[in-house]
Amino acid sequence: MVKFINVSKRYPNGVLALSSVNLTIEKGEFVFIVGSSGAGKSTLVKLLLKEIEPTEGEIIVGEYNLNKLSKREIPYYRRKIGIVFQDFRLLPNKTVYENVEFAMQITGAPSKLIRRQVPFVLSLVGLAHKAKCYPHELSGGEQQRVALARAIVNKPSLLVADEPTGNLDPDTSWEIMRLLEDINKRGTTVLVATHAKEIVDSMRKRVVAIDNGRIVKDQPKGVYSYET
Ligand code: ADP
Ligand code: ADP
């Protein structure tokens, strides 16, 4: 599903953010990417979304070789991936329903399918009763659940979450991680970059640790780290 082959990224200021990263993620996996601030996690996510280019190496996602993707193809490529950020990024002037609906409309989905699919994903994240609310009327956890609904509404085969619980309290963080686990069990490959040590330690998923731009650990049913 995802393959990083000898990928390095050096920013124009000279910082080597990733160094010879090799990583293979199979279809259906749930993977945590962990590491301290500055380790290179966001760089890895940005490369995956083709927001930045690798200095060296190749990145393959599904049937796409990102090096060979043309500018014109990038928007279509990104629509095939579900993305969730720390700061939710909902449209403030649209309701919960409309935020999710909009993500489907831009793909040209038929309205009959939209009318069926939007309520389905909203109930999947437990927010059917908040469909008419605006983002500012929701808690942080609820906003993130809307973002999750929006990320999965087009049935992506890969869902990428960059610090999805970074702005949430511990209980709410757990709810979001459980939802990510549910989504994974329904067949979506899930990649979560996170600092949430306690959650990573108890979920026992695959853990890939990055330190200083290098993969320093890759364990099935892993933990955040051996220290502390
Ligand atoms: P993380 O997400 O793990 O905190 P990042 O991928 O954001 O790490 O950063 C990895 C390294 O690359 C850090 O040293 C950071 O300062 C540097 N870096 C990140 N983005 C840029 C950029 N746009 N220009 C220059 N250096 C950057
Ligand atoms: P059915 O009742 O027809 O078996 P479901 O209740 O599982 O279907 O799903 C209702 C709709 O949502 C269908 O269009 C289905 O394909 C779709 N769907 C199912 N699972 C997901 C998912 N994880 N993400 C997005 N859409 C889904």
Dist. CA 7–CA 214, nearest whole Å: 10
Q: Is residue 228 pLDDT above 50, yes or no?
A: no
What local confidence, expressed as pLDDT, does residue 95 receive? 98
Dist. CA 129–CA 198, nearest whole Å: 31
Write down the residue that tokens 């890939």 correspond to. 208
Residue nearest to atom 6 of ligand 1 (CA): 40
> In percent, how much of the chain has pLDDT > 90?
97
Distance from the CA of 172 to the center of ligand 1, in angstroms? 27
Residues in contact with 16: Cβ distance below 8 Å, sequence separation at least 6, in sequence order:
8, 9, 10, 213
What local confidence, expressed as pLDDT, does residue 210 receive? 96
Which ligand 2 atom minimizes the distance to the CA of 154?
25
Helix, strand, or coil (residue 147) = helix
pLDDT by residue (tens digit) across 30-75?
A: 999 999 999 999 999 999 999 999 999 999 999 999 999 999 999 9
Residues paired with residue 23 on neighbouring β-strands, in sequence order: 4
Q: Is 136 exposed, middle or buried (0-12, 13-18, 19+ CB in 10 A)?
A: exposed
Asked if residue 62 lies in contact with residue 1, where contact means CB atoms within 8 angstroms, the answer is: yes
How high is the mean pLDDT of the chain?
A: 96
Distance from the CA of 149 to the center of ligand 2, in angstroms? 12
Dist. CA 79–CA 52, nearest whole Å: 17
> In percent, how much of the chain has pLDDT > 70?
99
